[in-house]
Amino acid sequence: EAQVTQNPRYLITVTGKKLTVTCSQNMNHEYMSWYRQDPGLGLRQIYYSMNVEVTDKGDVPEGYKVSRKEKRNFPLILESPSPNQTSLYFCASSLSGTPLYGYTFGSGTRLTVV
């Protein structure tokens, strides 16, 4: 089944404890992206990757890191999480970065930082 897999689904952590949210897609998509979704603010892009070893900042990159060493994987790293990073996170992928294609989303990771 074609899908984007995120793990974990739920995570509660403490301020300052480094964490990684994994994202993997099995559709051979070139483009991958991370979004966070917050009430009243909608979906906002954190980082994106047009292809392997090519990543760039989205609208809200502060406090996050990403890497794209393999085409299928695009982990999101929070080096020192803070409570304002409590949110619902979605990984998304697309066949390419051209305007023609929509995203396929992962199931989401609900992160709580206390």
- Give CA separation, 96 vs 1, 12, 39, 51, in Å: 19, 33, 29, 9
Any idea which residue has 């085409």 for tokens? 71
Which range of residues in 12-20, 39-47, 63-71, 73-81 is near other proteins by CB under 8 A?
A: 39-47
Q: Identify the residue among 23, 24, 25, 33 touching other proteins (CB under 8 A).
A: 33
From 45, 73, 86, 112, residue interacting with other proteins (rule: CB under 8 A): 45
| Closest CB 78 distance from other proteins, rounded Å | 20
Query: Can residue 10 be called a binding residue for other proteins (CB under 8 A)?
Result: no
DSSP 52-95: TTEEEE-S--TT-EE--SSTTB--EEESS--GGG-EEEEEEEES
Query: Applying CB under 8 A, does 24 fall inside the site for other proteins?
Result: no
Instruction: Please report, in angstroms and rounded to a whole number, the separation of the first and last CA atoms in the chain.
Output: 36
User: Which residues of the shown chain bind other proteins in the complex (CB under 8 A)?
Assistant: 31, 33, 35, 40-43, 45, 48, 50, 56, 58, 90, 94, 96-108
